[in-house]
Amino acid sequence: MLSFLRHGAACTLVLAASLPAVPALAQSAEEEAALRSAAESGRDASIKRIQDWIALPSIAAEDLNMQEGVEYMATLAREAGFDEVEIVPTSGHPGVFATMDNGADRTLAVYFMYDVKQFDPAEWSSPPLEGAIVEKEGFGRAIMGRGAVNQKGPEATFLAALHAFKEAGITPPVNLVLIAEGEEEIGSPNFGDMTAVPHIQTALKEAEGIFIPASWQDRSGAVDVNLGSKGVVELELISDGANWGPGPKTDIHSSLKAAVESPAWRLVHALETLVEDGGNTPAIEGWYENVRPLTEHEKDLIREGAALVDPEEQKETLGITRWIDDLPYDEAMIRLAQEPTVNIEGLVSGYTGPGGKTILPGRAVAKIDLRLVPNQTREEAERKMRAHLDANGFEDIEIEVSGGYDPTETAEDSLMIRAEMATYERLGIPYALNPRLAGSWPGAMFTDPPLSLPAGHFGIGHGSGAHAPDEYYVVESTNPNVAGLVDATMGYAHLLYAVAEAE
């Protein structure tokens, strides 16, 4: 569910200098050389690990390979050196919890997902489960396949760092806690079952913070340090003639439309009430009453990053010609971070095959996602959606929620964020502090009580195409600004040292 649109590439060293310092990393030159040598010798195995994982797609929405996927996730954890690994049942698909006790003073938690989005092989230039190596102009050689960047490539690269520690005979400088789920791509409806297990909660509370592996370097090599993410609710709105007074209970001949009402049009009219301004502004009653606007400091951070980005390149990447309301790029990025949304993911009704089929559909479904900002909550959004439909005469429109979670926020002076910035600075990676990622992940399970952990995204390297055809992850970079697999592996090793040594 994460969004991969970057808004900036500024190196916020002036801001970082005002925060508590994270000292230089403590590993010796000999240790660093040994780790790099191990990462290089394990490169082929690391590539194959990603390809093998891509070949086993676990798709929660289709109930595909979920048991096989969780067992494979557990195997990956064991092979990487986690000494306690368990498969954890939930009310839905199971997850994996694992710990690695390295006798360290500090503990770092990491979040994984083993599920991926659906795919249509006909839309891909290379088979989506093959993990073929392809050339990506401006970046180099990449693995193409479903899950390559979201999130199997980055996750497997973090595991590659742990393999490098093992191969080099070096004990990682922090203890590790791994928590992995198989339902992120359907809104993590049962992830709370895992984080509420007493011994899992106890282990997580010992961590200094938690992060999700990422690989979002742009062509310049820059990354974002995200201080939060929007929340999300995934749901369906259903207009079903079998439940609506006028009917019809099934599809009927379209010639009857002059005498019979249409569930499809009923749904269209209900959808129209949810938004205004051409669909760009939610119109649900009370939707904005708890929204926390961005502060001027947060807006300034966004403007700083936007000033170093080519807006036309961003438009070309997205296939658009303008931003909402013809906003300049920096204001569009402020709007992207600040505004909650009501989005139609898909509309399904009646016949959609070749040619025509003259029917009046008995049922219509709209797939919707709601993006939430602090201080909105999932519970509030669901309640207000129901109340809005009822108040506008659409009591018959059903709401089926499949998953979702609240927004997240993490303080920029937290140890987790400072360790990320220290690592990027050591590696010479330009970065921008991003107040809020427009995409979503279930970080609220960690940042909210009772855990109240700092949470973030970390990683170097590049990939793109999440949720889309031709998804890829770069393993051999020809761009001097962008990390390939070995350098990305070393980035995670450096992060562990930064967490261990932070003051």
Q: Does domain 13-225+407-501 have CATH number 1.10.3260.10?
A: no
User: Running DSSP on this structure, what letter comes out for residue 279?
Assistant: G
Distance CA 482, CA 325 (A): 34
Mean pLDDT of 447-467: 96
Map tokens 């390149």 to a residue: 313
Q: Cite the beta strand spans of 4-131 per DSSP E.
A: 84-88, 95-100, 107-113
Do residues 455 and 210 make contact, with C-beta atoms less than 8 angstroms apart? yes
Q: Are 141 and 475 in contact (CB under 8 A)?
A: yes
> Which residue type sits at 215?
S
The percentage of residues in the chain with a pLDDT greater than 90, rounded to a whole number, is 90
Residue with tokens 């500090």: 106
How much is the pLDDT for 216?
Answer: 85
Radius of gyration of the chain (CA): 23
| Integer Cα distance of 98 and 81 in angstroms | 10
Domain with CATH 3.40.630.10 in the chain: 13-225+407-501
Question: DSSP string spanning 381-425?
Answer: HHHHHHHHHHHTT-TTSEEEEEEEE--EE--TTSHHHHHHHHHHH
pLDDT of residue 24: 40
pLDDT digits (tens, 9 = 90+) for 243-272: 999 999 999 999 999 999 999 999 999 999
Residues of the chain with CATH 3.30.70.360: 231-291+340-405
pLDDT score of 27: 65
Cβ contacts of residue 107 below 8 Å, gap of 6+? Answer: 174, 175, 176, 177, 203, 206, 207, 208
Q: Domain 231-291+340-405 is of which CATH architecture?
A: 2-Layer Sandwich (3.30)
**Which tens digits make up the pLDDT trace of 348-386?**
999 999 999 999 999 999 999 999 999 999 999 999 999
Residue 332 contacts by C-beta under 8 Å, 6 or more apart in sequence? 323, 324
Q: What is the mean pLDDT of the chain?
A: 93
Inform me whether the pLDDT recorded for 418 exceeds 70. Answer: yes
> Tell me: the pLDDT tens digits for 203-259?
999 999 999 999 989 889 999 999 999 999 999 999 999 999 999 999 999 999 999
Does pLDDT of 16 surpass 70? Answer: no
pLDDT tens digits, 31-90: 999 999 999 999 999 999 999 999 999 999 999 999 999 999 999 999 999 999 999 999
pLDDT at 48: 98
